[in-house]
Amino acid sequence: MGLPAALWGPLGLLSSLALHAALGAHPHRDYCVLGAGPAGLQMAAFLHRAGRDYEVFERAPAPGSFFTRYPRHRKLISINKRYTGKTNAEFNLRHDWNSLLSPDPRLLFRHYSRAYFPDAGDMVRYLRDFADRLGLHVQYNTNIVHVTLEKDRQAWNGHYFILTNQKGQLYRCSVLLVASGLSVPNQVDFPGSEYAEGYETVSVDPEDFVGQNVLILGRGNSAFETAENILGVTNFIHMLSRSRVRLSWATHYVGDLRAINNGLLDTYQLKSLDGLLESDLRDLAIVKDAKGKFHITLKFFLEETNASQSADSIPLPQDNSDNFAMRVAYDRVIRCLGWNFDFSIFNQSLRLSSGGEFSKKYPLIRASYESKGSRGLFILGTASHSLDYRKSAGGFIHGFRYTVRAVHRLLEHRHHGLAWPHTAHPVSQLTDSIIRRVNEASGLYQMFGVLADVVLLKENATVFEYLEEFPMQMLAQLETLTGRTAKHGLFVINMEYGRNFSGPDKDVFFHDRSVGHTEDAWQSNFLHPVIYYYRHLPTEQEVRFRPAHWPLPRPTAIHHIVEDFLTDWTAPVGHILPLRRFLENCLDTDLRSFYAESCFLFALTRQKLPPFCQQGYLQMQGLASTESLRKHGVESGLLPDYATTGQVLEDGSQQPGDREPGGHLPATGHLIQSLDSSKQEL
């Protein structure tokens, strides 16, 4: 690779221009962000708040240009839940899929739309306000047409990223954050594919489809959204795709077919002419007849005949098998096959490649969101979804707003020496710290299986540090990425669905699906907190070769907090007690809380104190009980009633010295004594 190769590239001229310009002075930024969509603005917000030198480049004249056009039918399927019955702002973000993270409560999406599934226009308005209110540095109308590398040993990453805009203006960046989303419509190449209209251009006016036979290629939300719009006026809609339909409520993946779009499933199953078919598009061909109608045939039929033949003479499957499902002629074929990442602007020297056979649409990145090819190049937002495609929410606003924050924290440590933010607490606070997070943390909840909280134990496990939302696949590199040390063991707090619960073909409504007993918590099906305990930080090898279906390597011990119907994990016996027992057994200590009076007793009758007394009472922060609580304590048998503890002996006959522990006599001596006495008789 490198320079000579680049010169041969289609944009070779531009890149050589860039090299020349690099010698002169052109604007430098520590951080360059490509795209002022939700991810780009989110990153900008963090950089801005941290006072970093950054610039966002946006092709359009305003933020969120994607949303000015898409979704075509204008209804966002990310929920805008305005009421949860709770006031906890962090918790409420669990059910707010549109807001970006900011300290400004006015920048919550619920102030922008009353609709549960809001209009895309509101998103545009929201993003504009977000950029304006926070004063983010965005260069609009700036289309970055080329990106290349410039080696420089002084640079943070050993090279600069050289960006060229449509006017040939160059920018030099230390770190490049690509948040350009997926902008290239996915096209499948097959004979006749040119007859298909694309989702991006197809009419959204149902009037245009009245009395037509429609074939839709694809089975994602855009395909169903398109179908939903015209369902009532067409003769019928057939949907064709390679794999079976994946319902998001069965897969627990928000990118699969959402119930709001699934009207066609209903009409299909109720035999109202609409239908679903499975076939690989690449085996098919579309033939247009003289009347302008479209016929489906097989690709190899075309290959057998020569191109000069007229459309009407091309063999069709129904010629042989007269009940072929798609033997009817279509008036329209619509392609709704999703989008791909735009790799074209990146010079080969960046070595930005797609993620292989299964995620061609996404660039290949590490779990830290950094490109595998170039240090300092990060992929944010939808384009970073390769890491959790069909698993978690990393491809959506409500997921990537957290992964962007994680990337920002990594950068703050890497380039500015600021260790990953944490709070340190005495170990007596461990149970409560975890309970607090699993009950309110939105990042854990949305990015389950991707971002996890980490508890780092300090020496002797008397103190711990709590790190929030660390990319769990980078666990082995935690020390270098965060600047924290993990020498004395750690806990990882993740949220998980039951292992065999989710899947396109799974019945998620099966009888007995809910687990209620704490002992069966490991069989919980719905999203629930899982805590992994490691005595040592796992190595990269261990993370990579972890057991199948495990998000992390095999831990020393694991705990599941039993799933909860209300996702409220604060039940004293059902949730907190088993967690405490788990933590106690991992740390080999007693994590119960005690009243000051109990600590007082321990302090004077034992040489060691439990952590709660050690870290509370002895630091003059003991917990006093009240009369009412004491009474309950005595009733429960957990607190002794000292007022009635054995009466003080009045006669003083017993010396304090000659204590006789209840009935414990030196037995052998006693036996001899009695023997001696009997012997004398003889």
Partner 1 sequence: MPFDFSVFRVLVFFFIMCILSTSAGDTLPELSPQKYFSTLQPGKASLAYFCHADFPSTSVVLEQLNEAVRPLQDYGISVAKVNCAKEEEASKYCGKEKDLIKAYLFRGNILLREFPSDTLFDVNAIVAHVLFALLFNEVKYVTTQEDIQNIENTVKGKANIIFAYVRAIGTPEHRAVMEAAFVYGTVYQFVLTTETGVLESIGSENIEHAHLYFFHCKLVSDLTQQCRRTLMGQPLTTLNIHVFVKTMKAPLLTEVAEDPQQVSTVHLQLGLPLVFIVSQKATYEADRRTAEWVAWHLLGKAGVLLLLRDSLEVNIPQHTNVVFKRAEKDMPVEFLVLPDVDSIISHVENNMHMEEIPDDEDSDMEDPDMDIQDDEVAETVYRDRKRQLPLELTMELTEETFNPTVMASDSVVLFYAGWQAVSLAFLQSYIDVADKLKGTSAALFTRINCADWSDVCTKQNVTEFPAVKMYKKGENPVSYTGMLGTEGLLRFIQLNRISCPVIITSIQEAEEYLNGELYEGLMTYSTLSVLGLFSPTMTTAKEDFTEAGNYLKGGVLTGIYSEEDVWILANKYAVTLPALLLARHKDDKIESIPLAGTHTQDIVQIITDASREAFPEITVENLPNYFRLQKPLLILFSDGSINPQYRKAMLTLVEQKRLDSFTPCWLNLKNTPVGRGILQAYFGLLPPLPLLALVNLHSSGQVFAFPSDRSITEQNLALWLKKLEAGLENPITILSAQEWKPPLPAYDFLSMMDAATAQHSTGKAPGCMKETDTQESDKEQHEDKLAVRKEPVETLRIKHWNRNNWFKETEKSLRPHKEL
350: DSSP letter: G
Binding range to partner 1, per CB under 8 A, among 164-172, 197-205, 358-366, 568-576: 568-576
Among 158, 269, 516, 540, indicate the residue that binds partner 1 (CB under 8 A): 516
Binding range to partner 1, per CB under 8 A, among 218-226, 390-398, 399-407, 613-621: 613-621
Crossing angle of helices 38-49 and 120-133, in 10° steps, is 20
How far is Cα 6 from Cα 113, in angstroms, rounded to an integer? 48
Per-residue 3-state assignment (H helix, E strand, C coil) for 357-418 = HHHCCCECECCCCEECCCCCEEECHHHHHHHCCCCCCCCCHHHHHHHHHHHHHHHHHHHHCC
Least Å distance between CB 365 and partner 1? 25
When asked if residue 535 is in the footprint of partner 1 (CB under 8 A), the reply is yes
Among 166, 344, 460, 514, indicate the residue that binds partner 1 (CB under 8 A): 514
Least Å distance between CB 116 and partner 1? 20
When asked if residue 585 is in the footprint of partner 1 (CB under 8 A), the reply is yes
Among 457, 521, 527, 552, indicate the residue that binds partner 1 (CB under 8 A): 521
Among 154, 313, 320, 645, indicate the residue that binds partner 1 (CB under 8 A): 645
CB atoms within 10 A of CB 246: 17
Per-residue 3-state assignment (H helix, E strand, C coil) for 254-323 = CCCECHHHCHHHHHHHCCCCCEEEECCHHHEEEEECCCCCEEEEEHHHHHHCCCCCCHHHCCCHHHHCCC
Burial of 518 (0-12, 13-18, 19+ CB in 10 A): middle
469: DSSP letter: E
Answer whether 484's CB lies under 8 Å from 505's CB.
no
Return the number of the residue (1 or 89) whose C-beta is nearest partner 1. Answer: 89
- State which H helix or E strand residue 451 sits in: strand 451-457
User: Which amino acid does the sequence have at 231?
Assistant: L
Return the number of the residue (7 or 665) whose C-beta is nearest partner 1. Answer: 665
Least Å distance between CB 657 and partner 1? 6
Q: Binding-site residue total for partner 1 (CB under 8 A)?
A: 133
Residue with tokens 């929410």: 393
Residues 6+ apart with CB under 8 A from 500: 506
Among 1, 89, 277, 311, indicate the residue that binds partner 1 (CB under 8 A): 89
When asked if residue 621 is in the footprint of partner 1 (CB under 8 A), the reply is yes
Among 310, 313, 320, 628, indicate the residue that binds partner 1 (CB under 8 A): 628
Binding range to partner 1, per CB under 8 A, among 150-158, 317-325, 395-403, 625-633: 625-633
When asked if residue 502 is in the footprint of partner 1 (CB under 8 A), the reply is no
When asked if residue 85 is in the footprint of partner 1 (CB under 8 A), the reply is no
When asked if residue 590 is in the footprint of partner 1 (CB under 8 A), the reply is yes
When asked if residue 506 is in the footprint of partner 1 (CB under 8 A), the reply is no
When asked if residue 682 is in the footprint of partner 1 (CB under 8 A), the reply is yes
Return the number of the residue (267 or 518) whose C-beta is nearest partner 1. Answer: 518
User: Taking CB under 8 A as the criterion, which residues in 647-666 touch partner 1?
Assistant: 647-652, 654-657, 659-665
When asked if residue 459 is in the footprint of partner 1 (CB under 8 A), the reply is no
Return the number of the residue (86 or 244) whose C-beta is nearest partner 1. Answer: 86
Dihedral sign (CA 94, 100, 102, 106): negative
How far is Cα 123 from Cα 64, in angstroms, rounded to an integer? 8
